[in-house]
A and B are shown apart, each in its own frame.
Chain A
Amino acid sequence: MVGVSELVVEVDGLRVSYGSVVVLEDVALSAAPGEIVAVMGVNGAGKSTLLSCLAGLRRPSGGTIRVLGGPPRDTAGYWRQVVLVADLPTWYPGLTVREHIELVRMTNAPTDGWCLEPDELIDAFALASRADAVPLTLSSGQRQRLSLACALARPSDLLLLDEPEQSLDAGFRKQLACLLRDSYAPSGGTVVMATHDLEFAQVAGARRVLIEDGCATEEPT
């Protein structure tokens, strides 16, 4: 059992509402270093909202959130430790796929923790044939691969993934789940991901948390 002080993510009594509509009510969640947590639930259950709160992009109406020992902050120091891969990523105009991956790596230097080299990422994410392409011209699945590749091009302590399986083919989903389980998590990285794909969560060896009616409940493995 990991001590409370060592937890990477600690959420207690979280409440989030959009106007009069309460999306999350009294949600509790924790994640230890090296752990993969899959947040599951039907559309509109509040999975993405929970990730936004962990990333510090949305202020909750109530409760406490502690990420890496403190509240989510909008600072460069926090961003170096936490990576969020959400839907609809934007890319810099006039830069290629390879240049984006290299830029992420270089702006996060020194790269002391676990991460993959740009060449390794391009091969692992099957982007070799499109390495010189502008991200705009990629298919939706390739764009999703690029977002994930950028997230793994730099060291981090917490990876927040919002439906990472989106637009990915079945083979690559499995490959990604294995990468997270066998490489990222053993290096001490924590993953909290919102997903609808039970098989993906199972292959990744994730602890499953179900959000239903605004509350989170642990699912049996």
Chain B
Amino acid sequence: MTAGTTALVPGVAPRLATVRKFTRRQRQGRWLDWYAAGFGVLLACIYLGNFLVQPLRRLSSGARGLPVGQGETGLALVIAAAAGLLLLAQSLGPLTLSPADASWLLMSPLDRRGVLRSSLRALTGAAALAGALLGVLALAMAGPYIRAFTPARLGDWLLLAAVAGGALAVAMVDVLLLLQPHQERVRPAARVLLRVIALAAVAFAVAGEHWAGLPRAVARGLAPVSLAATSTVTVAAVVLAAVAGLAAWARLRSFPADVLWADSAHAGRVRLAAAFLNVQLLGWIAEDNYWRRRVLASRPWPKRKPWQARLSAAWLSAAQPSPAFLLAWTDWRRLGRRPGTLLALAASAIAPALVTGALTGTARGVASAAVLLFGGMAAASQGCAALRRDTNDATLRRIIGVAPRPSLVARVVLPALLAAGWLALALGLLASAGVLHARDAGSAPAALLWVTLGVVAGPGLAASAMRLARTAPIDATALGGLDTGAGTMPTWLISRIFSVILGLVGIFPLVAAVIAAFGGLHGPGAGSSGASRGLSHGLSAGTIVVQAVLSAALLSLYLLSASPSGGPRDSTGLPGQE
């Protein structure tokens, strides 16, 4: 018997502290773990610091001459980010335990509140930190329009903003925690409400870009805000957080185990996937969660039309849907049953325009191009769900029995169309907002040229999305990789980076044209001058031709060179159906 077990006396209800002490004693702590954690915190601080430098500089300089639209857009995006974070917290619980604690401590005679105390503490800490950060960001956006704001009192304003933001976030998270046991009705309603708030905030930001009256109204509303009023709001937020915190603390004693057990298992999988940047697994989990809540009606598969069946000419046999076509149809059907996904994709095409509106300086061109690249890849990936499933499940592939190469060719159409549609929409919005211009458009409107560029660039991204979908699952335990000098880069990471590079190569003419339209990588391009410089860096018809040729060549090369199947694998490594 180990030293730790001697404290557990048979016949006496165990104390949580004794159990924790025992489990910690069995865990061999190593200096490397502390080093890794410390390094992570240091990196987070550096990134957070860099992130906050510009807003803080903006506040300390008392930047009064800022365009009125930036404050309104920024504030709306802060609200959208807050709603998004709350949505994330809600989808993960928000109260969960580690998988080990959920398995061994939850369904035990230990005091429930004691088991959950550390989780509540961590949740409160995370909420307070995120809320404080959002509070400071909100102040950075609103500060320049508040009459009473002076750089001399910056410390007071920052403190109030951080405390108010943190307290409000804690209160909101505690409310979500109190709603957590009401799985059936209240949780879906809260999810819908948070989505509506996030979408409304984004819509508000977009509307501000077009109607100048809106930002002016926001600026007028912010102008009379005083330090005293902010203090009152902060005190109210702290009181609200305290009340919600006490209610949450009281609820912990009888928090239902079934809810915690299910949410902890779900959060554990998501955390594991997120820790390894496993977007593939995160998408898989989200997809399963979506379909688990749906009731469907079976529909017949595409068949030959009666007039085709009546004609027996041999050449018409080609009109019979081929197995590869039927397999590709699974993704069309899936998407047809998820109209919300298509709507969300269409709505997200506004993202490059929003980024352009919210950012200043030369970062705008690069950021917009990056959003176009990743947005287009995300759109194409929506057409690869079935490919992802059977690529990673040899059993499923064998039951279906379709040759891999024809199925790959048949499946390329949907991702190419989705990427083309999304890029065309995003570029069209940028052009119609006056951000992008055309050089030799002739009589054709500039937006039409940019939309055409988006359409022809779509297939260039399809190859990248399909490669990502066919990438083997992340194996965190696998040895080997590329020695970078500063450590070994695992092969799964190399493979994913390669897919992104493939996407970048596939739409390189588009990326280059967008950056050039903003005045290049090193040009000034700030504020409205970026747009004016765009006139001299407008899109030419030649770029569209180059992009079309590149897209077609890259996609053909990918389809010819992609290995037809994964070959023998030791295990799939992906989760089974829950």
Contacts and interface: CB of A to CB of B under 8 A. Distances in A.
Interface in B292-311: 292, 294-301
Contact of B567 (A74, A132, A154): A74
Contacts of B567: 74
Interface string B172-214: 0000000000000000000000000000000000000000000
B62 interface: no
Contacts of A92: 330, 334, 385-386, 389-390, 396
A86 B571 CA distance: 12
B334 A95 contact: yes
A106 B323 contact: yes
A90 interface: yes
A55 B568 CA distance: 10
A79 B397 contact: yes
A166 interface: no
Interface stretch (B154-162, B261-269, B399-407): B399-407
A103 B334 contact: no
Interface in B530-578: 565, 567-570, 572, 574, 576-578
B401 A107 contact: yes
Interface in B319-367: 321, 323, 326-327, 330, 333-334, 337-338
A75 B403 contact: yes
Contacts of A198: none
A89 B401 contact: no
Given A76-B402, A99-B299, A136 B577 contact: yes
Given A106-B326, A132-B295, A134-B291, A90 B396 contact: yes
B101 interface: no
B293 to A, nearest CB: 9
Given A74-B567, A76-B404, A88-B577, A82 B389 contact: no
Contacts of B565: 74
Interface stretch (A20-28, A33-41, A56-64, A212-220): A56-64
Nearest to B396: A90
A106 B301 CA distance: 9
A15 interface: no
A58 B566 CA distance: 12
Given A84-B395, A88-B576, A92-B389, A132 B296 contact: yes
B499 interface: no
A102 B568 CA distance: 27
Interface string A86-122: 1111111111111100111011110000000000000
A143 B577 CA distance: 9
A43 interface: no
Contacts of A137: 292
Contacts of A134: 291-292, 294, 296
Nearest to B567: A74
Contacts of B124: none
B334 A93 contact: yes
Most buried by A among B297, B396, B578: B396
B389 A96 contact: no
A103 B401 contact: no
Given A91-B389, A95-B334, A107-B327, A76 B577 contact: no
A131 interface: yes
Contact of B393 (A82, A89, A96): A89
Most buried by A among B288, B294, B395: B395
Contact of B291 (A57, A93, A150, A151): A93
Given A109-B323, A132-B295, A90 B337 contact: no
A200 B522 CA distance: 74
B532 to A, nearest CB: 47
Contacts of A109: 323
A103 B330 CA distance: 9
A80 interface: yes
B392 interface: yes
A45 interface: no
Interface string B375-403: 00000000001100110111111111111
Contacts of A82: 398
Task: List 3 tightest A-B contacts by C-beta distance, closest first.
Answer: A88-B576, A76-B403, A94-B334
28 contacts: A57-B568, A57-B569, A74-B565, A76-B401, A83-B399, A88-B576, A90-B389, A90-B390, A90-B572, A91-B389, A91-B577, A92-B330, A93-B389, A94-B333, A94-B337, A99-B301, A99-B333, A103-B326, A104-B401, A106-B323, A108-B400, A131-B298, A132-B295, A132-B296, A134-B296, A135-B577, A150-B399, A151-B399
Given A89-B396, A94-B337, A131-B298, 5 more contacts: A58-B568, A76-B404, A90-B396, A94-B334, A137-B292
Interface of B: 287-288, 290-292, 294-301, 321, 323, 326-327, 330, 333-334, 337-338, 385-386, 389-390, 392-404, 565, 567-570, 572, 574, 576-578
